[in-house]
Amino acid sequence: MCRHIGYVGAPLPVGEILTRGTHSLRVQSYAPAEMRSRARVNADGFGAAWWHPASGGAGSQGQRNGHPRVVAARYRNAAPIWTDPAVDEVLVQLVSRGILGAIRSATSGMPVERAACAPFVDGVWAFSHNGHVPDWRAVLTAVCADLDALALRAGSAGLFAAELLLTAESPTDSATVWTLLARLLRAEFVAGPAEALRLLCAAILAHAPTSRLNFLLSDGETLWATTVHHSLYALLTPESAILSSEPYDDDPAWLPIEDRQLVCARPGELSSTPLAAEPNDPA
């Protein structure tokens, strides 16, 4: 299993979020406290995403809600995070209002390579998956068919041909789940990121009920997460919101999130609704 952390708030160095606290994400890579699987370390690589203005300037293409459009950038390495000096020497130089960090323990049988390390990014989106989809090739092929049926019922053309699965960056469950989620995030029949996550979890769990689906998604301003099996905690201040697989320190303000929740967090705001509930999503 893996661990992840998302931050939104006042600008912070990317490297700081990876190393902050006595039980930082970097410490969790060799001494995690809450592993709910057989894995004991998270040594199969790591990654971090941050947000910066899209190149192309301030033309209409470069604007989003009146603000300059931002895109997610990332750094990944298939080596353990504690071996990479870039964390202290380079990632501390990059400052962002949104940060998403992940450390990986490859599911047995899956490749250990940089392309398999989260965050996965596409435009403004960055994504991480802590968990496992059993028999993922068959299950995600069936999920494609279900999502296509849903799209057709909503009057959209089919968007989820199984070939989509072949476009995944790496032959892993997580990279392939990301191809589906990235498509859902662009689909007209889906109201927003919370609904995209809800639809995807429901479709995967319908075919593989023992799946472990702790997802973490951000556009650099808001964090969305799901809890299916693994741990997740929130730490809120008026200026920031953090969602993390494990608390990085002993601050009593860390709030444990229950299992099977869909969480949405922004500075000073946290909402959590049961995943199985009817879509009435946090923004």
CB of 144 to ligand GLN, least distance (A): 18
As a whole number of Å, the CA-based R_g of the chain is 18
Q: Residue 131 interacts with ligand GLN (CB under 6 A)? A: yes
Neighbours of 49 (CB within 10 A): 27
| Interface with ligand GLN (CB under 6 A), residue from 26, 76, 129, 198 | 129
CB of 222 to ligand GLN, least distance (A): 23
C-alpha pair distances (Å), 5 with each of 53, 157, 170, 254: 22, 35, 22, 13
| Interface with ligand GLN (CB under 6 A), residue from 24, 29, 96, 105 | 105
| Interface with ligand GLN (CB under 6 A), residue from 132, 183, 198, 207 | 132
2 is catalytic: yes
Q: Residue 1 interacts with ligand GLN (CB under 6 A)? A: yes
Closer to ligand GLN by Cβ: residue 173 or 195:
173
Report the C-alpha gap between 96 and 155 in whole angstroms.
39
| Interface with ligand GLN (CB under 6 A), residue from 19, 28, 29, 130 | 130
Q: Return the H-helix or E-strand segment holding 109.
A: none
DSSP assignments along 215-233, one per residue: EEEE-SS-EEEEESSS--E
CB of 117 to ligand GLN, least distance (A): 8
Stretch that binds ligand GLN, among 5-13, 127-135, 157-165, 234-242 (CB under 6 A): 127-135
131 contact partners, CB below 8 Å, separation of at least 6 = 1, 2, 174, 211, 212, 213, 214, 215, 228, 229, 230
| Interface with ligand GLN (CB under 6 A), residue from 148, 173, 195, 246 | 173
Q: Residue 76 interacts with ligand GLN (CB under 6 A)? A: no
Report the C-alpha gap between 4 and 127 in whole angstroms.
10
Q: Residue 110 interacts with ligand GLN (CB under 6 A)? A: yes
Token pair listed for 180? 């589906």
Report the C-alpha gap between 271 and 121 in whole angstroms.
24
Q: Residue 102 interacts with ligand GLN (CB under 6 A)? A: no
Residues 153-172 within binding reach of ligand GLN (CB under 6 A): 172
Stretch that binds ligand GLN, among 8-16, 63-71, 101-109, 196-204 (CB under 6 A): 101-109
Nearest to 92 by CA among 171, 202, 17, 150: 17
Q: Residue 96 interacts with ligand GLN (CB under 6 A)? A: no
Q: Residues interacting with ligand GLN, by CB under 6 A? A: 1-2, 104-107, 110, 116, 129-132, 172-174
Catalytic residues: 2
